[in-house]
Structure 1
Amino acid sequence: MPRVTLQTIADRLGVSRMTVSNAFSRPDQLSPALRERILAAAQELGYVGPDPAARALAKGTTGAVGILLTDSLRYAFTDLVAGSFLAAIAEELTPTGLALTLLTASGSDDLVPARDVAIDGALVYSCDPTSPAVAWLRRRKLPMVFVDQERAEDVPSVNIADRDGAGAAARHLLDLGHRRIAIATNGQHGRYGFITDPDDVVEGHSSRQRRLGWFDVLKPAGVEPVVIRHPLERTDDVRRDTRTLLDRPDRPTAILCFSDATAVGVLQAADDLGLRVPADLSVVGFDDGPLATQLQPALTTVHQDVEEKGRLAAAALTEAIRRSRTGETGPVPHVLLPATLVVRGSTGPAPL
């Protein structure tokens, strides 16, 4: 069957091709009656609409923005905090008509998403700053916003005060009398398991800032924490190594976790060994996502406003795209949202 085009509809109705095109792209140029006739004919003939690639070429815009994630897209669909962040972005973008395209930081020889996918701009979310994908976005000179990334002077950014929040969590445990404290953190690359030198591993921005915040408080108090490290989604590995950690005679009385999801693995390990939380072990998470209040006991954690972070990131990107199109210059905005400790039932005084 021959492909139905704008000219096909124009020939059917005895009007110009431009008139038919206006019915789809500039409806204010036609009378309601004429536009209705054109749309009815298009439906009858099975016309699927203007070719997106041709329309993008003509307008100089794709109508889509990318979000560059870590190596695995699975994280975007399984992590509740990442899901809330993406939902807030989508909600903020809805009135603009921009679509959201997920990009992985990895690719193949034939397809590198950051290089090959047509987008008008990109959010770079919690990625390795040395990633080739970030370099490709820069090379394309696309408007960008960094989220949970090391700040760059020429790129707008939205970050959380991770270091302050982590420091508050560590101070809370010291105030409760804990001195045998462990850390369960995350990483996407490098060594996993028990880490003897945290300075010797590759970390993302949030991981590094939270580690610095914990150590800012623990080291002056003379506390040398044991550190275990795993990819964010590998709670089973966290559970296994925490079990090993808690099965020692000198087991920690408290554990600081990179995230609420990490805390799940820690709590499971404590339960495996019959340890009571918080009587035998205090646990602190980070994020204050939906999990925090669903756990038993409810999780002491550091709150970050994930939805506000998503809204601000999307707004910053649409503004960066607008400025790129108009050639407007000016200061590049950098937003730092607070991170505050929320004390619940998973922390208590150090056991005697």
Structure 2
Amino acid sequence: MTLQTIADRVGVSRMTVSNAFSRPDQLSPELRRRILDTAQDLGYAGPDPTARALAKGTTGTIGVLLTDSLRYAFTDLVAGGFLGAIAEELAPTGLAITLLSSASAGELIPARDVAMDGALVYSCDPTSPAVGWLQRRRLPLVFVDQAPVDGYACVNVADRRGAREAARLLLDLGHTRIAYATVGAHGPYGLIADHDVPTEGYASIQRRLGWNDELRPAGITPTVIRQPFERVDLIRADARELLSRPDRPTAVLCFSDVTALGVRQAAGDLGLRVPEDLSLVGFDDSPLATQVQPALTTIRQDVEEKGRKAAALLNAALRHSGETPHLLLPADLVVRGSTGPAPS
């Protein structure tokens, strides 16, 4: 079965049939439908994607480089909202999305070996070899939740400013025993001192800097609960240990709303009331924030806007616009029922 077979059946040129598959804007909707219907009747599925990519010099695919675990993209509400917004923004372009782990799998290194036209680098370790491979391939890139990189567009959230607002709220409520609950891709884990937390992950660093901006001048040295992404059960266990101490904190600043859930569960295990005995502040304002009771005080970031902006910037880079803006989206305090005055 060839394009010419279909062309003969419809009574058009071979190029017209080719355009029906690869350049639909060149045909009227009625003619394109006739051609596609004829192709279907004849059992023709369309030009071979590999051959078409070689002819065009493009793959029609963009990559999204994530952390070592791709599971995060399917289980985390914030990552899911971000990726959904990217898909929606790119839908009119016809571009497909490929999720890339920053880890290698035997001989396969996704960032080096997977065919793509460009990529979004999302919340990855900047020293990861995967980031270096994408740069060496000279692909159009947009960095998201990463330290700004010269020569590339990037999208970040005002994490540090938002974290300062969260810490200031707790100080204004009279809290002096404050802990952090955060996450990371690599250890150490458990209950650790703030100065032992590794400098890993742009958002994590910025949020901890914001908390410290307020707490250090107030003479407060926090204890840190730190566990891998997605391990709410481990955060819960650590928080239970921390909250069992005689000098337990009266408030906890959390890296995310999901992290706050782990601490909230630990408080419930110990019979502690929120906010009467323990105040909690999350980050993200994900759907989870209003599903728990009392509703969670948190820092709101517009995850969907972040995804739309990132996709639009990458689309522009694919068109070789030459623009490399550095966007900073707002992060705003949303006060709800999980915070209250420090207990006497």
Same fold by TM-score greater than 0.5: yes
Hey, what does 1:103 align to over in structure 2?
A: 100
Question: 3-state SS of the aligned residue for 1:122?
Answer: strand
Post-superposition shift, 1:127? 0.3
User: Aligned equivalents of 1:268 and 1:333: distance in 2?
Assistant: 41
How many Å apart are 1:202 and its aligned residue?
4.0
User: Does the C-alpha gap of structure 1 residues 33 and 225 become closer, same or farther in structure 2, counting only changes over 3 Å?
Assistant: closer
Note the 1:62-211 alignment, pairs <5 A: 62-198=59-195, 200-211=197-208
In structure 2, the residue matched to 1:335 is: 327
Aligned to 1:235: 232
Partner of 1:158, secondary structure, is strand
Letter in 2 for 1:343: V
What letter corresponds to residue 161 of structure 2 in structure 1? D
In structure 2, relative to structure 1, the CA distance for the partners of 1:166 and 1:29 (3 Å cut) is: closer
2:100 maps to amino acid: L
Q: Distance in 2 between matches of 1:320 and 1:32?
A: 30
- Asked if the contact 2:194/2:223 (under 8 Å) is kept, the reply is no
Aligned alpha-carbon RMSD (Å): 2.0
SS in 1 for 2:203: helix
The code of the aligned residue for 1:185 comes to T
- Is the 1:190–1:202 contact (alpha carbons within 8 Å) kept by the matching residues of 2? no
Once residues 199 and 342 of structure 1 are traced to their aligned partners in structure 2, the CA distance between those partners, rounded to angstroms, is 30
- Deviation at residue 262 of structure 1 after TM alignment: 0.1
* SS of match in other structure, 1:212: helix
Seen in structure 2, the aligned counterparts of structure 1 residues 254 and 15 have a Cα distance that, compared at 3 Å, is: closer
Percent identity over the alignment is 72
How much has 1:17 moved relative to structure 2?
A: 4.4
Deviations 1:38-75 (A, max 9, x none): 43442222111111111111112111111111111111
Q: Secondary structure at the match of 1:123?
A: strand
Deviates more, 1:293-302 or 1:188-197: 188-197
Match of 1:306 among 293, 300, 303: 303
Residues 301 and 34 of structure 1: CA distance in aligned 2, closer, same or farther (over 3 Å): closer
Equivalent position to 1:268, from 247, 265, 268: 265
**Deviation (angstroms), 1:22:** 3.4
In the TM superposition, 1:281-320 aligns within 5 A as 281-320=278-317
Aligned partners of 1:199, 1:300: CA distance in 2, in Å?
27
Would the alpha carbon gap of residues 179 and 24 (structure 1) be closer, same or farther in structure 2, given more than 3 Å must change?
same
Q: Which deviates the most, 307-316 or 196-205?
A: 196-205
Match of 1:225 in 2: 222
The answer to whether 1:346 aligns with 2:338 is yes
Residue 32 of structure 1 and its aligned partner are, at CA, apart by 7.8
* Structure 1 residue 329, shift from structure 2 partner: 3.5
- Matched residue SS, 2:319: helix
Q: Deviations along 1:237-296, whole A, 9 cap, x unmatched?
A: 000000000001111100000000000000000000000000000010000110111110
Distance 1:222 1:44, change over 3 A: same
Counterpart code for 1:346: S
In 2, are the aligned partners of 1:232 and 1:261 still within 8 Å (CA)?
no
Consecutive unaligned residues in structure 2, runs of 5 or more = none
Query: In structure 2, do the counterparts of structure 1 residues 109 and 8 end up closer, same or farther at CA, with 3 Å as the change threshold?
Result: farther
What is the one-letter code of the residue matched to 1:223? I
In 2, distance between residues paired with 1:213 and 1:154?
A: 27
Alpha-carbon distance between aligned partners in 1 of 2:28 and 2:303, rounded to the nearest angstrom: 46
User: Which residue does the alignment assign to 1:43?
Assistant: 40
Q: Is the 8 A contact 2:193 2:222 kept in 1?
A: no
**What TM-score results when the alignment is normalised by the length of structure 2?**
0.94
Task: Indicate how the Cα distance of structure 1 residues 105 and 345 shifts in structure 2: closer, same or farther if over 3 A, else same.
Answer: same
The 2-side partners of 1:249 and 1:32 are apart by 73
Q: Deviations over 1:273-326 (max 9, x none)?
A: 000000000010000110111110000001111111111111111111111xxx
Name the CA distance, whole Å, in 1 between partners of 2:26 and 2:342. Answer: 74
